[in-house]
Structure 1
Amino acid sequence: MIMAYILQPDIVRYACSCGSLKPISRIYFCRHCLKIRCGYCVCHEVDSHYCANCLENLPSAEARLKKQRCANCFDCPSCLHTLSTRANTIVVSSSEEKPVPRKVYYMACGFCRWTSRDVGLPDQTVASGGLPEKENPSTARINSLLEYYRALALKEKQEKERKKVVSRRSYLHFSDKFGLTAVMARKRAGLPQLGGGGLKDDLGNPPDVAPSVASEEVEQLPEEIFTTTINLTSVTTLTQRLAQPEFQPKYVSELYPAHKHLLIKRSQRCRSCEHNVSKPEYNPGSIKFKIQLSAYYHIPEVRMVTCEPLRIGEESHLIIKLCNPTQHPSVVQFLPLPTAEEDLEEQQKEMEEKRKQSERRDSDKDLSLTRQLSTIEDPRPIRVDLTGDILLPSSGVLLPPRDDAAEYDDSGDTHNYQDDPKVVVWRKANKAALKMVVIPSNEAREKGGEVVVGFLMNYTYMNTMATLEQKEPQKVNLKVKVFMTVGKVVGD
């Protein structure tokens, strides 16, 4: 199923509610607000951090302290692949003048054959970790700047809180809010204040740290750079330098193994109703999802099968295939795309309905203690230059529900459907092939010969999500705009 999407990535595109066009494999379907969502109109949240090599799971606080890097895994500084640990046995002389074998470990890359011995790193006696860390020469400067701006931000925050006009409060309120008891305890003990207060002077001001200032004066290049022959094998590439921004080594002999970056598992949430459309499992080794509302599980899939040669002003037959992925029958109808005025009017109606729902949710405060703040999206027009007309069938097409057993059972194709033979070419299980007519227009010559057509697909969807108003499953009619790149016109 995924292979078919790879073969036809941009031929059939669906219009998202935000106005962008995506293939069906790149969009989601929110079962609560019954809208199509893409990666631009959902909220991305980080669920967990993990290492892709050792599958170690780290909390967010610990990952932040380790600078989003794994402590045991390393990347090759030459080709950026993962380094592996190699063992070697050496002979060590003991006090009894009898050689004793000892096992040592070093890091090696199985792709470019780079080893830690190439830069003079000593072999380690333990298999994991233990490599000497290269100290950043600018660590003290960066730490001082961080403390300076942290204290400056704390001072600005306290000034804003002083300007706020608040009513008379009790002593317990201020002690809980500002921690007066903890401040007095640290002051009596002679300890520095919290929040970077130890870096302040006697007047409570942050220390004077000279910030970095851009300068127009640049150091002159040495004269040897124009006369000395450069050995490209000993100079690092731009990719190798940017992989280690804190050091940026100039020569290959200065390359050191870098700790591997951590990856994240993220969940995606609908901006309108704040429900999850995708949520993976917490285990790093699992590829399953707790919630996966991909569009190809809920929306009928449109796929192009064949198309006759396209000529300007002439009719060409197009065959598409429809597939119903749901467990309920669906009726699909094809309608022409609305005009710009009709599209704007419909978007304004949707915006007005969303505002009413938001006001109703805000007024009803007794239903829940936590209020969900919905985001109202501004209508965005879909800017697609259509270079052809398409003659759509006037009758609808019934798609049976998905049945995995019907794929291997030929007896399931004996259902008596009253289809128009001029429209429906063949059927099998929950799939049906339809015939349409495409007429390329003169605008196709100006767009490189590509013929792009579009239509409005109206389909029935069984909403099984229970709400306060509706407890039983409800059948609704949904619409989605579909755009197809049929092909290129042939010579006149």
Structure 2
Amino acid sequence: MGHVLRTDLVKYECSCGLYHALNELYVCRTCVLLKCTICAYQHVDGCFCRACFENVALTEARSHKNCCNSCYECPVCEMVLTARSINDKHRLLCNNCKFTSLDAGYEDNDSQTWSKQEIINEKFFDDLKTKLKELSLFEKNEIEKNDKRRRSNMVFVSDKYGLHSMLSRKKIEANAAPLSMDDKVIRDAEVNELSLEEIMKPVDPNTIPKYEQQLMCLENFNAQLYPNNLPLTSRRSLRCNVSDHGLVRSEYNPTAVNFRVKAFAYQYVPDIKMFRPTKLFLKVDWPLFLYISNSTAVPVKVKLQPVNNENDYTIVECHSEPVECTIPAPNVVADMNDLEPSARNNSSVANNTSHNSVVFKKRHRVAVHFQVKPKFVQRYNYLVIDLIYQFEGNPFPVSEQPQVNEQNTRIKLSLGPSKATITEEDLNISREGIRRTKLSY
């Protein structure tokens, strides 16, 4: 029964060809296609701090290097530092590793603001960034100039007032290549001799920061660890790459758990899960139980058709007939009525079906089984099924009325390893029962 909660065993094929779990997919309400985070467009709506939940505009976040000015991060364990008041003085403290601002050399302040650490070679990197921007702008102008260049029919233009020469001079200056940075190599005239005492003196390994901790302080890589400004978290939205329709957009409030726009796949696609783990043995057909549920507001016709691929040895053989059934929409009132004993007896009679592969049908849930057989003894075995479903109505909101036709989605189920022979533990029966059991190998 625990396999019902494992969503990684059943994966659906996205419109881009990749397989993902159903909770990782989205549905476009315009083109009615499955989308994932790889093939969909991602946009950053804004940024916020995960500690103080303050919304920060994109331009302001860019100027502050995508960090919060009032919150700090521990350089040792990456936890959020809290401000403690001690003798009318404020101090940063980590509740996890007990790191304090005194360890970094900061004194207690009257206010909850601490001066930023001086960055080594900050001016050099700022100049380098400016030069790279000038170079990119120059290359962009050169490409546009070559594309828009055309021949002029005017052979001679009179320049009575000297405007033509002045404009051409300014144009040449604007299109001139940026100057390269000066190569400055500073060498010390006096080189101190290497002291063996400094090399051989004992070193406490607890005082040496780890490589991951030094990466958090890239501005001063070899300096002492100091509190870092907490990085901002981006609020992203997804859009379809075909119709440019919104898939997911969260609320503006960082503490809200609702979505302004949501089109998750589990709301519109039948959910298939493995009811119990299956065991695979060579030349033996073993049952595989699947659990199908409908989460839409309308009934849906479902057809499960196994796919056999002789060229791929990881795909098991399944010669069971396709299963067709109609799953009704979920009903909360029926769920409450099923708690009564009289309703349970009536439901068992109403759920009888003529199809041999259907185990039971109860409200918006159906259980089916297939006979699978592996090809070789290997670690990974998969079953491929074509899920063909048709809605008896429109599952989307009234404001959006796309033409929902028959949809076909390929599903890949991970069945686990296969074995060559059957043991007592696999069948969970006695030795005499194994002798009586006739298995055709």
Alignment TM-score, normalising by the size of structure 1: 0.71
In the TM superposition, 1:2-21 aligns within 5 A as: 7-21=5-19
Alignment partner for residue 388 of structure 1, among 294, 316, 328? 316
Q: Structure 2: where are the runs of 5+ without partners? A: 153-166, 186-192, 422-441
Aligned to 1:375: none
1:453 and 2:383 correspond = yes
The offset of 1:160, in angstroms, is 4.1
Distance 1:42 1:51 in 2: 25
Any idea what SS the aligned residue of 1:116 has?
coil
In the TM superposition, 1:119-134 aligns within 5 A as: 119-126=104-111, 128=112, 130-134=113-117
The offset of 1:481, in angstroms, is 0.6
Alignment partner for residue 178 of structure 2, among 185, 206, 213? 206
The offset of 1:228, in angstroms, is 3.9
Asked if the contact 1:458/1:478 (under 8 Å) is kept, the reply is yes
The offset of 1:222, in angstroms, is 7.8
Asked if the contact 2:12/2:22 (under 8 Å) is kept, the reply is yes
In the TM superposition, 1:306-385 aligns within 5 A as: 306-337=276-307
Cα pair distance change 1:34/1:475, threshold 3 Å: closer
Distance 2:401 2:251 in 1: 29
Asked if the contact 2:286/2:372 (under 8 Å) is kept, the reply is yes
The offset of 1:21, in angstroms, is 1.0
Superposed CA deviations along residues 307-331 of structure 1, whole A, max 9, x for unmatched, are 4532111011111110001011011
Any idea what SS the aligned residue of 2:304 has?
strand
Distance 2:10 2:184 in 1: 51
Number of equivalences:
389
Aligned to 1:419: 353
The offset of 1:394, in angstroms, is 3.5
1:482 and 2:416 correspond = no
Superposed CA deviations along residues 92-125 of structure 1, whole A, max 9, x for unmatched, are xxxxxxxxxxx11100000000111122211111
1:287 and 2:215 correspond = no
Distance 2:361 2:177 in 1: 78
In the TM superposition, 1:133-172 aligns within 5 A as: 133-163=116-146, 164-165=148-149
| AA of the residue aligned to 2:284 | E
The offset of 1:64, in angstroms, is 0.3
Any idea what SS the aligned residue of 1:87 has?
strand
The offset of 1:386, in angstroms, is 3.2
Any idea what SS the aligned residue of 2:124 has?
helix
In the TM superposition, 1:162-241 aligns within 5 A as: 162-163=145-146, 164-165=148-149, 206-210=178-182, 227-241=200-214
Superposed CA deviations along residues 426-485 of structure 1, whole A, max 9, x for unmatched, are 23221111121111212xx2x32x331111111113445699xx9967552111111111
Cα pair distance change 1:314/1:418, threshold 3 Å: same
Distance 2:259 2:320 in 1: 38
Cα pair distance change 1:437/1:137, threshold 3 Å: same
Alignment TM-score, normalising by the size of structure 2: 0.79
Cα pair distance change 1:86/1:419, threshold 3 Å: same
Superposed CA deviations along residues 190-246 of structure 1, whole A, max 9, x for unmatched, are xxx9xxxxxx99996534314799xxxxxx998668634332111000110001111
Any idea what SS the aligned residue of 1:266 has?
strand
Aligned to 1:371: none
Any idea what SS the aligned residue of 1:396 has?
strand
Aligned to 2:221: 248
Distance 1:487 1:425 in 2: 23
Distance 1:120 1:485 in 2: 55
Q: Structure 1: where are the runs of 5+ without partners? A: 90-102, 169-183, 185-192, 194-199, 214-219, 341-382
Cα pair distance change 1:234/1:32, threshold 3 Å: same
Alignment partner for residue 73 of structure 1, among 64, 71, 74? 71
Aligned to 2:163: none
Q: CA-atom RMSD, angstroms?
A: 3.4
Cα pair distance change 1:244/1:473, threshold 3 Å: closer
Distance 1:409 1:440 in 2: 43
Aligned to 1:267: 237
Aligned to 1:63: 61
Any idea what SS the aligned residue of 2:120 has?
coil
Alignment partner for residue 368 of structure 2, among 430, 434, 438? 434
The offset of 1:486, in angstroms, is 1.9
Cα pair distance change 1:48/1:224, threshold 3 Å: farther
| AA of the residue aligned to 1:402 | P
Aligned to 1:31: 29
Distance 2:115 2:235 in 1: 30
Aligned to 1:105: 90
Asked if the contact 2:29/2:396 (under 8 Å) is kept, the reply is yes
The offset of 1:384, in angstroms, is 7.0
Asked if the contact 1:307/1:316 (under 8 Å) is kept, the reply is no
The offset of 1:67, in angstroms, is 0.4
Distance 2:208 2:230 in 1: 23
Asked if the contact 2:278/2:415 (under 8 Å) is kept, the reply is no
Distance 2:98 2:40 in 1: 43
Distance 2:282 2:14 in 1: 30
Asked if the contact 1:327/1:403 (under 8 Å) is kept, the reply is no
- Aligned-residue identity in percent: 24
Asked if the contact 1:277/1:292 (under 8 Å) is kept, the reply is yes
Asked if the contact 1:464/1:473 (under 8 Å) is kept, the reply is no
Superposed CA deviations along residues 404-425 of structure 1, whole A, max 9, x for unmatched, are 3333221497383562263222
Cα pair distance change 1:473/1:155, threshold 3 Å: closer
Distance 2:89 2:400 in 1: 67
Any idea what SS the aligned residue of 1:458 has?
strand
Any idea what SS the aligned residue of 1:327 has?
coil
